[in-house]
Structure 1
């Protein structure tokens, strides 16, 4: 049994999307049970429409909901101990749930998760890891928005945590790791990135393979299992990829409806276009994983639909079933034990 706590009030649509999304996830994984937190007047009537889900839920009323535009500091002051977001995270801390899932305000969710769960030993700042579709399948990219700017130590910690997630998600014994850079040559890029590369090469971990620098076009190629960068660059890359996917979809729809001949052609090629749409569907890869905390928290896109939220729930389910937290702790311990003395006091 995997126990999942849900912030029912998070996201652009709140329980109107979260509850049917949880119901879909339960259909595919009947061994899930839920602790759900939200405002009774909005949530209880919706739960009544999904009797199978209601039977697998323990509902906890919360009057306070964190808005999508609320500042993290304000959310902490107003929502600590009483909001649906805080209490969903707190359920993980207290051992009542294995993972928390929310589509709410990213900054508030990160602030509450860090304050409530605390970071693991030797981790200064957590990261958000996203699952990225590639020509070879899927890869992991981190950080995609939690840490703006990162030094060499933080980048190497991200690499170790991303490698542990790849082992948990992709079932590979030794995932390949790349540092996102402006070129693959060792002399290129910022000093922090070059130093992180040196540390990873010298550590020579048996839990992952450091493949050197990768460039932006390697994200879609699937050159490595894990791409590591800091949050500013990672978030821009993520939004650029999502925008490009929507742009291509719009171009295709316009091209297919331009003339009678193109519409007839679409009829014959419908299977291929459906396969392309399925591959590019952002709902399939919804769910950013907060790494570096003493517990698992999943961030769903705020504007997702029920199928997208179900995908985020299933990411949390996979992380629990594959022991993500313990893998990260063990890999970090192993990495820090192997740090070369030349890494300096910053790595100690």
Structure 2
């Protein structure tokens, strides 16, 4: 029998909560019967959406009316107190009552409250925000996406270890191939921090991954590497650029296919290929960023996603727990 995975859910974060959150939970449970949801939020708002949709044995509601607002600064969110749905959900994983915590709420507040409540994994200085990106050959893990604007070579080496551990926990049959995001592929390009990191990773005996050197922005989707490492400033710009480009391509393609009669006929003839193309760029499929470096897994769902996207981020929760992410990071850091 599969182990029951306990997921602490902040039900009040993000657009359309708690309905979207509960809809996502119900959708996720269909294919994940070994999941148990500890749901934190306003019971009176949650119950109407969950009644008769989930067996009572699969969830428990922890009532609180206090929430972290999306407009709060990270510090304001933390100052709202220990009775907010976000804080209580994180506290649940801190006390080992849950295996993983997820929120679609305020990203900055989630990071700050997580760092207040959870310890860092030994020998790691900073947590990183990571996410999954599609490439030509499958998927890549990319980090850091904004948690740390400035990073030292040690931080970037830690990110390489954590990113490869995350990739292996999600894709245990694949080999992790790490590259540093840089302005060129030549060894002498980049600032002193990234060049120093390159030298140290090149000399390091990397048991947990293969170091592939530098990667440029126009190679991110090639699939030759599957763990891409950057400081939070560079990684966040790359993320927003990729999201904007994907949105532009899909909107322009839709416009071209519906603007005139020829376009409409063409779209009908190619409807199967268009559906595949749209699905490949659907951001809901890749929803679920992960804070790595803390001693418990913390998952951030995009606040604007729908219930399908939230369900997919719940799948990230179950996969990182099943894949022993924290143990993998500890083992690889110690090596």
With normalisation by structure 1, the TM-score equals 0.93
Q: How far is the alpha carbon of 1:173 from its aligned partner? A: 5.9
2-structure distance, mates of 1:139, 1:41: 40
**How far did 1:118 drift?**
1.7
Deviation string for 1:69-119 (max 9, x for gaps)?
Answer: 11111211213x211001111111111110001001000000011110121
Higher helix share: 1
Give deviations 1:239-289, integer Å, cap 9, x for gaps.
111111111111111111122122111111000000001111000000001
Q: Does 1:43 align with 2:37?
A: no
1:132 is aligned to 133
Find the counterpart in structure 2 of residue 338 from structure 1: none
Aligned to 1:345: none
Whole-angstrom CA distance in 2 between matches of 1:251 and 1:175? 35
Partner of 1:232: 233
Residue of structure 1 equivalent to 2:319: 318
CA distance in 1, matches of 2:196, 2:205: 15
Deviation of 1:51 after TM superposition, in Å, equals: 3.4
Q: Could you say which residue in structure 2 is the equivalent of 1:65?
A: 67
Partner of 1:177: 178
CA distance in 1, matches of 2:242, 2:118: 31
CA distance in 2, matches of 1:145, 1:46: 34
Q: Which of 9, 14, 31 does residue 11 from structure 1 map onto? A: 14
For 1:149 and 1:313, locate their aligned partners in 2 and report how far apart those are by CA, in whole Å. 30
How far apart in 1 are the matches of 2:153 and 2:222?
A: 25
Unaligned 5+ residue runs, structure 2?
none
Report the alpha carbon displacement of residue 24 of structure 1 after superposing the two structures with TM: 0.6
Determine helix, strand or coil for the equivalent of 2:217.
Answer: coil
The alpha-carbon deviation at position 174 of structure 1 amounts to 3.9
CA distance in 2, matches of 1:331, 1:157: 10
Alignment partner of 1:221: what SS? Answer: coil
Measured after TM superposition, the shift of residue 49 of structure 1 is 5.4
Aligned-partner Cα distance in 1 for 2:53–2:19: 12
In the TM superposition, structure 1's runs of 4+ consecutive aligned residues that sit over 3 Å from their partners are: none
CA-atom RMSD in angstroms: 1.1
Equivalent residue, structure 1, for 2:244: 243
Q: Output the CA distance in 1 between the equivalents of 2:26 and 2:137.
A: 31
Cα distance in 1 for residues equivalent to 2:186 and 2:254? 40
Could you tell me which residue of structure 2 aligns to residue 83 of structure 1? 84
Take 2:219 and 2:306, find their aligned partners in 1: how far apart are those partners? 29
Aligned to 1:343: none
Which residue of structure 1 lines up, in the alignment, with residue 27 of structure 2? 24
**Given the two structures, how large is their TM-score scaled by the length of structure 2?**
0.97
Contact 1:9 1:65 in 2 (8 A): yes
Equivalence for 1:191? 192
Q: SS of the residue aligned with 1:51?
A: coil
Q: How does 1:148-167 map to 2 (within 5 A)?
A: 148-167=149-168
Q: Which shifted more, 252-261 or 225-234?
A: 252-261
Q: Which residue of 2 aligns with 1:119?
A: 120
